[in-house]
Structure 1
Amino acid sequence: MFSWRALKPAASPPPSTDVEDTDSDPDPDPDAALSPSPPATPTAPSEDGFDAAVDGEADDDGEEEGEEEEDYDGEDHDGGEVVVDLLPKKLRNVLAWKVSKFTPRVVKATFTRANFRLIKTGRLWIGYWGKHVAAERFKKVEPWKKVNHFPMSFECGRKDKLWINYARMKERFGIKHFDYLPETFLLPTQRRRLKSVFHTHPLWIMKPPASARGNGIRLLTTWSDLPRKRDLIVSRYVMQPLLIAGRKFDLRLYVVVTSFEPLRL
């Protein structure tokens, strides 16, 4: 159904990859092609609950965001350009992804090469790729639409909330099943508890609760180096971690959540 080919140099200019701002239906009834029973009274284009997130509203979990991404320019950055075999206009009207200023260039490029339009406003889209949005906004999403986050994912994605939930599970099910994370303290609320055991371990690691890419991580050997009033998590440093070729590593597992009631992974 979809096809594209890369040419160096391009035989013809690539299709526009500009992000569209649209609050009107590009097709008389594009939703009908996606659902056998669309809503009898469609909501206004700005009422799907995702426009505010596109405009840069703060995350509901306060998670630190990455740098703003530039629009995809249609080039493959290997000296050539990408030429896309366009689908019929009526079908392209339906194939739209809503994006934000934080959508990575590689994601925009992938959507464009697969014949999707990129839009910033409106409700006629089949996928959204952007910032975290409040859980109640998901109630307004039609069943055929896909979103790159699922509700409350920050309960596992933020380091402080991950530890809180881990501690709850450890208390409920016992240390036999929850003994794989090092002892951790949430600052500033658990500062006194940390101080009482700080001397028992030669090295600690300090991290911001809602950051990524290694930003703000420091190793601690002396109590006086610990900031007093910042929100931090401090854990015992794992002295002999598992290594691959002498280097640390992590594993990232992606899970497709197809339903929450009932839960299906």
Structure 2
Amino acid sequence: TLNYLVTLFFHTSIPLSSLSILQSDLSLHCLLSSDDHNGMCGLSELVSSCLSASKSSRDSSPDQRTTKDNTESIGDTGSSNGSTEKTQPFFRCSQFSNVPPTVRFYTKGTKVTKPNRKICSRLTWCHNSLLPIVMRHSLAASHFKVVEETNQWIGYWGRHLKSTDYRNILPHQKVNHYPGAFHIGRKDRLWTHVSEQIDRFGSTEYGIVPYTYILPREMESLEEYLEENPEAHVIIKPPASARGTGIMVTRKMKDIKQDSPLIAQQYIYRPMTINGTKFDLRLYAYVPCLDPLRVYLYEEGLVRFATVKYSNSMSTISNKYMHLTNYSINKFADRDGISSDPVPKWRLSELWTYFEERGIDSKKILESIEEVIVKAFIACEKHIRDHMLKQIHSGYVCHELFGFDILLDEKARPWLLEVNISPSLHSGTPLDSSVKAPLAKDVLNMAGIYINNGPVEQFKTSSIYMSRPRKWPKSSRQLEKEDECRNAYAGEGSPSSRLTARLTPEDVRLLVEFEDEMDRKGDFRLLFPTKDTVKYMKYFIDVPYGTLLLQRWQLEQKRGRTEGVARLERLCREGIVLQEDIDSSDSEVSDHSSDDDGEDEDSEEEV
């Protein structure tokens, strides 16, 4: 069949370079065909599919192919409907040769091509009581079945695992938490790491969280603060709770348990209000990788309101329906006779519209919120990463969605109240569904779920495994380059052009993973790294090599991604992406045409 296709390529003026790109499409087409039991497809059907795909590839640029690929799929535009009569593709092909495809996910109601029985038998997701309905719908649309934990599975979404359990995660599996994520999810750990950054850079530059007391060890300091500020209050929270459990506002020391682990956060006394009511924001940040750190923010979110109009009168301070915005608390206002109206809640996009209609600069507010989110991750990433490295063998098996709770004060300054490592995707209202169903679908797409077509025990010889980065331990050659570049950064203070002048196979895998991830990001927007985020590099306690490489790569793509993607495709076509990191001179790849470009751009940046 392939010999026949080569002949067709010559006689139809189709570039031979397209053949390597289409080889994965050919095998996928066979796998997706269910005409007979062994999953083989007819030659005429195969040729027709390839010629059609090649014509599309030939007639469009890489950027156009990416756009077409995204717009083909219902749900990739953030639509919560997703229903269509057209059958949508099951796989999303990589932009690069020799890189396997990932599964496409959609919202409820989308018709998706069904793979053959062999592939379907591998579409299993681990059961967990926290697996939300909107995610179950996306999984079901792509023919996944939810199975018990004792069965074979390739994906997991649920409660945080014990640190030691991560050691049992297999290379072909994907779980939705990082071991050590408590460093940002626990309120006491978050404050500890942010306060360390305040010590380094000052509160003006890093004051992103209201001043916090860790109890009971700072009980005396809290008492002094309340005595010196007669009108001050604090919000008392358990350090590891969620959904409003154990929260209260007080200034009385007798209300605070003296022997319980708690945090006391200084109360923001003058919050921004809408129609006289206090509100906060629930934003969704996604981290597909810690090394290199990549942070995405979902375009949509939730605006959560208190039930009762706000007052800073001392007599109202005990009214939780006025001073607390947690939906888990305010939903009981009707039961308690406070209000018979539904709990107010907006989409984030409605808030931006509200601001713009009143002449408030929503873009500036969003930029300041994004800065808070990036700084929070940078403050905690090393602590999470160090913990993670002790527990897992393959760095690509984890990803995580975080819920950021942000409060705006009367001057529109954002304050980070807390970070949730298991943000609720429960959709109890149509508004919730309109935000969380597309969110769940986009998270699954961003996770990059691969289907291994061979025996599990042979997974490490598959192209899925060979094309993935962060397969530890690293070669001495790779470590040598990393040390050299990190030392150069320590001396120069900026990511050097030598990072991208010569790419190792591991570098290629890392950059390919990132570019494919950007191709399937849906309604997520990249916050870090971008061409504008070099200013944040100084905040890292210890900058990983991968973060330096990716930041440099982003600087070089500021004029467009076409050249960078083309460079990676040349290397992938040569098989570099599958090359083992052996300790030899062959493990580094030079691309002379791109070397010159990198040097020129570096010179311009220095000027």
Range class of TM-score, shorter chain: 0.5 to 0.7
CA-CA distance at 1:190 after TM superposition = 1.0
Over 3 Å counting, the alpha-carbon distance change for 1:264 and 1:184 in structure 2 is closer
1:191 is aligned to 219
Q: Deviations over 1:182-239 (max 9, x none)?
A: 2211111111111111123322211111111112110103222222222111121101
Q: CA 1:117–1:222 in 2, change beyond 3 Å: closer, same or farther? A: same
Provide closer, same or farther for how the CA distance between residues 264 and 197 of structure 1 changes in structure 2, counting only shifts above 3 A: closer
Change (3 A) 1:237 1:263: closer
**CA drift at 1:132:** 1.0
Match of 1:180 in 2: 208
> Structure 1 residues 159-168 or 178-187, which shifts more?
178-187
114-123 vs 159-168, which moves further: 114-123
For 2:150 and 2:223, the matched residues in 1 are separated by 52
DSSP-derived class of the 1:164 partner: helix
Flag the 1:121–1:180 CA change in 2: closer, same or farther, 3 A: closer
Equivalent residues of 2:271, 2:278 under 8 A apart: no
Letter of the 1:115 counterpart: H
Determine whether 1:118 maps to 2:118. no
Give the number of aligned pairs: 194
Spell out, residue by residue over 1:27-77, the C-alpha distance to the aligned partner (whole angstroms, 9 max, x if none): xxxxxxx98xxxxxxxxxxxxxxxxxxxxxxxxxxxxxxxxxxxxxxxx9x
Distance in 2, matches of 1:213 and 1:250, equals: 14
CA contact (8 A) 2:125 2:156 kept: yes
Larger Rg: 2
User: Conserved in 2, the CA contact under 8 Å of 1:160 and 1:233?
Assistant: yes
Aligned-residue RMSD, C-alpha: 3.2
C-alpha contact (below 8 Å) 1:5/1:84 kept by paired residues: no
| Equivalences for residues 123-142 of structure 1 within 5 A | 124-142=152-170
Q: 2:255 aligns with which of 225, 240, 250?
A: 225
Asked if the contact 2:287/2:293 (under 8 Å) is kept, the reply is: no
* 2:242 matched residue in structure 1: 212
Alignment check: 8 A CA contact 1:243 1:249 kept: no
Cα distance between partner residues in 2 of 1:228 and 1:113: 51
Q: 1:156 deviation in Å?
A: 0.7
* Structure 1 Cα separation of the partners of residues 248 and 186 of structure 2: 18
Which amino acid letter does the alignment assign opposite residue 260 of structure 2? Answer: R
- Are positions 1:257 and 2:288 aligned together? yes
SS in 2 for 1:97: strand
SS in 2 for 1:180: coil
Q: Distance in 1 between matches of 2:228 and 2:266?
A: 10
**Cα shift at 1:96:** 1.2
Once the two structures are superposed, residues 67-115 of structure 1 have per-residue CA deviations (whole angstroms, 9 ceiling, x without a partner) of: xxxxxxxxx9xxxx99987543211111111122332333333322321
Q: What does residue 196 of structure 2 align with?
A: 168
Q: Quick one: which amino acid aligns to residue 190 of structure 2?
A: L
Deviation at residue 248 of structure 1 after TM alignment:
0.9
Q: Which residue of 1 aligns with 2:174?
A: 146
What letter matches 1:183 in structure 2? Y
Instruction: Could you tell me which runs of 5 or more consecutive residues in structure 1 were left unpaired when the two chains were aligned.
Output: 7-33, 36-75
Deviation, structure 1 residue 240: 0.9
Which residue pairs with 1:92 in the alignment? Answer: 120
Give the Cα separation in 2 of the matches to 1:215 and 1:244. 25
Indicate the larger mover: 183-192 or 120-129. 120-129
TM-score (norm 2): 0.29
**Residue-by-residue CA offset, 1:107-129 (whole Å, 9 max, x unaligned):** 33332232101122346322111
Say which is worse superposed, 199-208 or 118-127, in terms of deviation. 118-127
Report the secondary structure of 1:94's partner residue: coil
Report the secondary structure of 1:248's partner residue.
strand
Identity %, equivalent residues? 29
Instruction: Report the more deviating stretch, 141-150 or 110-119.
Output: 141-150
| TM-fit CA distance, 1:137 | 4.0
CA separation of 1:255 and 1:84: change in aligned 2, threshold 3 A: closer
SS at match of 2:183: helix
Residue 225 to residue 264, structure 1, CA distance change in 2 (3 Å): closer
The within-5 A match list for 1:49-128 is 87-122=115-150, 124-128=152-156
Which deviates more, 169-178 or 185-194? Answer: 169-178
Q: Does 1:235 align with 2:265?
A: yes
